[in-house]
Structure 1
Amino acid sequence: MNAAIRQDAHGTSLWHAVSRSHGERPPLHGEIDTDLAIVGGGFSGLSTALHAAGKGLSVAVLEAEIIAWGATGRNAGFVVPNFAKLDPDSILAYLGPKRGERLIDFAASSADLVFGLIRQHRIDCDAVQNGWIQPAHSPAALEKVKSRAGQWARRGRPAVTLDRREVEALTGARGYVGGWMDRSGGVLNPVAYARGLADAAGSAGARIFERTRVTSVDRRADGWALKTPTGTVRAARVLIATNAYGGSLNPLLERTYFPLKVFQIATRPLPRDIRMRLLPGGQGVGDTRRNLFTFRFDADNRLISGGMHILGPGADTRVPQTIWRRLSAHLDLPDLPPLAYGWSGMAAVEPDFLPHLLDLGPGLIAGRACNGRGIAMTTAMGKILADWGAGTDARDLPLPFAPPARIPFHALLRHAPNMLLGWSMLRDRMDEKA
């Protein structure tokens, strides 16, 4: 039934397949000088470029492949303005009131920033800002999400709790005991959004080079020199915005996060009667299970879902089928259309599940803000990193800033999210029976 998955050696995503044709930008040739050099053409790099160019800085973006080639073009397109694991109260306890409040405010406005940029620059990316829903799979999870919604609502955010009937009416999914929704969240086509950011950054004056892999970043008396196979960029400040796709550019960075391979699938378009029953308002859903269950529709009524995998051979073909079966079961769709697309991407997960700025030297910084919240958080991170590019001290920005800290026993622990997935699935089932 599901033999029609379209997948090349790189796992071509739905978004790359359906987005408007991409006129590639030429690679760098020769030498250039710039105020700010950015390594990586994903959300964080492009948002930084757009906002920095808007401040009058000269900016160069160096992308090893094409715009949105990495995790930016391989996610599900959720715009979620909150943290994956921590809520406002726990962030205040963890970081203290001053730093905690600034980080909370940073996250709270992140989705509004994304959709505001889309409107401002007229980015055609099938954006829908009707909310992000988190249903609770158990009574214990419901108590947590009620607390979460209350904490955000007390800060003036459009967060509402949902009872069992409201969750079923909004999502079409049965079996949840309640949940909550942040009305400022939403969904979009991430590749089209990234390309729109690139176009806007280019119009503002940023220079963007594709097929331009940075091979070294070397200190100079007046800044940094970035070497590529066909050129050199000299810059006063440098941002490493590669997230989990940095390769060997800075080996230390690779040992400061957990790389998590996440799979996504998209079915063929659903019939109209089924489509009108599921998510009639067009929201995105990510529930409270440890083995997270997500779903949404694209503009052509393809049903999209994702998941992780237990370590083992054949994951690239095995996992998409597993996600498809899970989707069919959880949404009670025995006649779910076959898979049309299956792809995967790498996410960078921080040990504390918070965004971070890493101090790599004078005028050299790395930014990571995904942890499953990439679109909203990295766009917002780009806005504040533009301030850093213009001279603001990184210690005055709202994100935690420190030298990179290597995770002990990283060679073994880097596989922990996948190794523990089986145990997480068992705990989810135990929760539901409690």
Structure 2
Amino acid sequence: MARQEALSLWHAVSRDRHPRPMLEDRLDVDLAIVGGGFTGLSSALHAAGKGLSVAVLEAEIIAWGATGRNAGFVVPNFAKMDPDAIVAHLGAQLGERLIGFAAGSADLVFNLIERHGIACDAVQNGWIQAAHSQAALGTIQSRARQWEERGRPAVMLDSQQTEALTGARGYAGGWMDRSGGVLNPVEFARGLADAAEKAGARIFERARVTSIDRASDGWTLTTPSGPVRAGKVLIATNAYGGALNPTLQRTYFPLKVFQIATRPLPSKMRQRLLPGGQGFSDTRRNLITFRFDARNRLISGGMHVVGAGADTRVPQTIWRRLARCLELPDLPPLEYSWSGIAAVEPDFLPHLIDLGPGLMAARACNGRGIAMTTAMGKVLADWAAGTEGRDLPLPFAPPAPIPFHSLLRYAPNILLPWSMLRDRLDQAG
């Protein structure tokens, strides 16, 4: 049976946690950050590096939310839109700035790891996306071309190259961004926290913010342990913000994603699959992903219709699907399973949300959390230091609640059977 006691595999296998203190008195800072995930920690590191006084207020522990519950893929592109479509959607100026932001996001992650000596089993050997049908192959050929035209290390793969690099058979071809990779997300987050503290930021755990109110000289954040006054405030909670700002809750779809990790694979079985250590995803709507950790556990994930018993039922479904698709009748059993909530924007792009003078919310997950949120932290530090929101390389606007959100919020999970049927029809065609 899979182990369920840890928040995720990464919490279970990572080094001893360095607890951060609780907030015990009132505090006065230039920048208060609500949320101790990748966005908040990267923002704290980069803002402190600019000489700002910074406090991170995490309601639970560092990497408690989606930051510690993902699969550890570092992917420097967008989940749905390709560069040409982004330019058409946002216009040439902002579109190209956003594309440039994403293009360098993985390199930023791995450069931070090297600069700060973060031990997180990081491997930057690329991210591979395989086409599950001939129609999908045409789409990703165009995708790879668009990124290559913008100077990215994008490489097209035919079916034989895809099989050789991944060990997965039956794909029409694929492409690889050589700047992508994999890592242990909890260790990376803890390393960012350590680096931020060394730069002068203060990080507090068990410091739940219950309200954010306008003050004459900035904002006042209320916590059970005392108030925090800040010149500027960043809400970096993604889908884990609770009721802190009900308007924000209506601007994204919460998507429950399950992850699994098997027991370590025998060496002979391991040698066939991803011999270069890359991360893998395909083009299905109900996509298949897989990678290995440092102990050769096979890690995969997926979304399924959420219902009674899902936390037990879905991991086994993902395991069986993985064994079938990778032709592994002797796939070792599950060792860990876990789940998390991703924030999905209607256009699947990162967004900065203007909540008032000096009050910002930021979301960049959409299935690309590690690269995008870490890079977003560098941008948000510029905002905290005085750059106007309209001059940042990301869409910046007041909140735009999704119409009929209460009815549509679970649509991504509920519509999964239709997506799976379309995947089968694609391959049949």
Amino acid at match of 2:53: S
Question: How far did residue 23 of structure 1 move?
Answer: 1.8
Q: Does 1:157 align with 2:182?
A: no
Q: Does 1:103 align with 2:110?
A: no
Deviation readout 1:96-137 (Å, 9 max, x if unpaired): 100101000000000000000000000000000000000000
Find 1:237's aligned residue among 232, 236, 241: 232
Find 2:337's aligned residue among 333, 339, 342: 342
Where in structure 2 are the equivalents of 1:318-357 lying within 5 Å? 318-357=313-352
Q: Does 1:313 align with 2:308?
A: yes
Q: Helix, strand or coil: the match of 1:65?
A: coil
Measure the CA separation in 2 of the matches of 1:143 and 1:377: 26
Where in structure 2 are the equivalents of 1:269-418 lying within 5 Å? 269-418=264-413
CA contact (8 A) 1:54 1:204 kept: yes
Measure the CA separation in 1 of the matches of 2:390 and 2:14: 39
CA contact (8 A) 1:215 1:228 kept: yes
Question: How far did residue 311 of structure 1 move?
Answer: 3.1
CA contact (8 A) 1:51 1:383 kept: yes
Q: Does 1:427 align with 2:396?
A: no
Q: Does 1:263 align with 2:258?
A: yes
Q: Helix, strand or coil: the match of 1:274?
A: helix
Q: Helix, strand or coil: the match of 1:225?
A: strand
Q: Helix, strand or coil: the match of 1:313?
A: coil
Amino acid at match of 1:375: I
Deviation readout 1:338-376 (Å, 9 max, x if unpaired): 000000000000000000000111100000001000000
Q: What residue is the counterpart of 2:249 in the other structure?
A: 254
Question: How far did residue 313 of structure 1 move?
Answer: 1.3
CA contact (8 A) 1:6 1:12 kept: no
CA contact (8 A) 1:15 1:190 kept: yes
Q: Please list every run of 5 or more consecutive structure 1 residues that lacks an aligned counterpart in the other structure.
A: none
Q: What residue is the counterpart of 1:215 in the other structure?
A: 210
Measure the CA separation in 2 of the matches of 1:203 and 1:26: 15
Q: Does 1:7 align with 2:7?
A: no
Measure the CA separation in 2 of the matches of 1:360 and 1:337: 49
Question: How far did residue 231 of structure 1 move?
Answer: 1.3
Q: What residue is the counterpart of 2:143 in the other structure?
A: 148
Find 1:76's aligned residue among 71, 74, 92: 71
Amino acid at match of 1:312: G
Measure the CA separation in 1 of the matches of 2:91 and 2:222: 41
Q: Helix, strand or coil: the match of 1:146?
A: helix
Q: Helix, strand or coil: the match of 2:352?
A: strand
After TM superposition, the score normalised by the length of structure 2 is 0.99
Q: What residue is the counterpart of 1:93 in the other structure?
A: 88
Q: Helix, strand or coil: the match of 2:26?
A: strand
Question: How far did residue 312 of structure 1 move?
Answer: 2.1
CA contact (8 A) 1:135 1:180 kept: yes
Find 2:164's aligned residue among 158, 164, 169: 169
Amino acid at match of 2:367: G
Q: What residue is the counterpart of 1:132 in the other structure?
A: 127
Measure the CA separation in 1 of the matches of 2:384 and 2:307: 43
Deviation readout 1:69-104 (Å, 9 max, x if unpaired): 000000000000000000000000001100101000
Q: Please list every run of 5 or more consecutive structure 2 residues that lacks an aligned counterpart in the other structure.
A: none
What is the identity percentage for the equivalent residue pairs of Structure 1 and Structure 2? 77
Question: How far did residue 286 of structure 1 move?
Answer: 0.9
The root-mean-square deviation of aligned C-alpha atoms, in Å, is 0.6
Question: How far did residue 232 of structure 1 move?
Answer: 1.2
Measure the CA separation in 1 of the matches of 2:307 and 2:108: 40
Measure the CA separation in 2 of the matches of 1:370 and 1:104: 15
4+ residue stretches of structure 1 with deviation over 6 A? Answer: none
Question: How far did residue 383 of structure 1 move?
Answer: 0.2
Amino acid at match of 1:321: Q
Measure the CA separation in 1 of the matches of 2:220 and 2:417: 46
Q: Does 1:16 align with 2:2?
A: no
Question: How far did residue 230 of structure 1 move?
Answer: 0.7
Measure the CA separation in 2 of the matches of 1:37 and 1:27: 15
Q: Which moved more, 1:368-377 or 1:304-313?
A: 304-313
CA contact (8 A) 1:261 1:347 kept: yes
